[in-house]
Amino acid sequence: MKFSSAITFVLCIVVFCLNSCKESTSTAGENPLARAYDEVLYLSDLDGLVTSTTSPEDSALIVNSYVQGWLRDKVMTKGAKNSMDKDDNINRLVENYRESLVLNTYKEQLLKEKLDTTVTLEEMKKYYNENKKRYELKDNIARCYYIKVERDVPERSSLNRWWTLRKETYFQNLIGYAKKYAVEYSMNDSLWIEFNELEAKLPKGAFKDKYYKKNERDIYVKDREYRYYLRLNEVRSAKKSAPFSYVKDDLSKVILKKKKKNLLKETEDELYDKALNKKNIEIY
């Protein structure tokens, strides 16, 4: 089907109406734009298709494309229906999809209204203690301090003194220095980091097993550009249970998932028992 200049003019009028008369979405009294068998496309069906900022030429192209696409879809659908002797299978698939959609929507609404999303520290610790074997480490991890600075960084003697003496009063000095001069740093030793990540932070070959096997945990190395300071405050070896703080986020997600599953199961059991008692269901 090719659109004549007259039809193009009509489309331009349609575009004008779309941009200026969007307050009405009713088809009552509307002139149809196109028809496919027993279905009709109205102006209101194109609401929002174009905006007032779209040029008339582009708007006409958009409307034309939409109308043509609508007609072609209807023709293809009609052809598909005519080619099938029976549509029982299609009807069954549609009904199955509808039931699945209704069920999933109901579950989402149920979880939204009734699920307690609070996961307490006590719940996490209890689950952790009961399932430690599930949280076995696959890699060595450590809590540490790390500072990376340029090789000719200012006030390096102060950095070396504060780092080496390890006095509590110097800790804030190190943090202030790192904020001012460090290329990269981490001074929060409550975080656990995998050894492969730490190894990647140092020059190649600088990180060795001895740093956790022999308690030689204060590492200082340099290359042509940078100086690296790394202190391992605590090490947890692979195949041992992961620290609670290391898996805390995962614990929260697992517990919340179990709560969702339990709520859905309880609701299902309740509805099943009611239907069974009312003899709405039975097994032959």
Q: What is the pLDDT of residues 23-56, one digit of tens each?
A: 444 555 677 889 999 999 998 888 888 887 888 8
Give the pLDDT of residue 80: 81
What kind and span of H or E run contains 228?
strand 226-236
CA gap 242, 137 in Å, rounded: 5
Q: Helix/strand/coil (H, E, C) string of 11-58?
A: HHHHHHHHHHCCCCCCCCCCCEEEEECCEEEEHHHHCCCCCCCCCHHH
Mean of the pLDDT values across residues 57-81?
90
d(CA 27, CA 257): 47
Amino acid 3: pLDDT: 45
**Residue 10 pLDDT exceeds 60:** no
> In whole angstroms, what is the distance from residue 45 CA to residue 15 CA?
12
In the predicted model, what is the mean pLDDT of the chain?
86
Compute the chain's Rg from CA coordinates: 34
66-105: burial string, b at 16+ Cβ within 10 Å, e else = bbeebbeebeeeeeeeeeeeeeeeeeeeeeeeeeeeeeee
Give me the mean pLDDT over the 195-204 stretch: 90
Which pLDDT score is estimated for 60? Answer: 87
150-198 pLDDT, tens digit per residue, is: 999 999 999 999 999 888 889 999 999 999 999 999 999 889 999 889 8
Q: Are 187 and 174 in contact (CB under 8 A)?
A: yes
Overall average pLDDT of the 68-93 stretch: 83
CB 230 within 8 A of CB 193: no
Predicted local distance difference test score (pLDDT) of residue 87: 63
In this prediction, residues 210-216 reach a mean pLDDT of 62
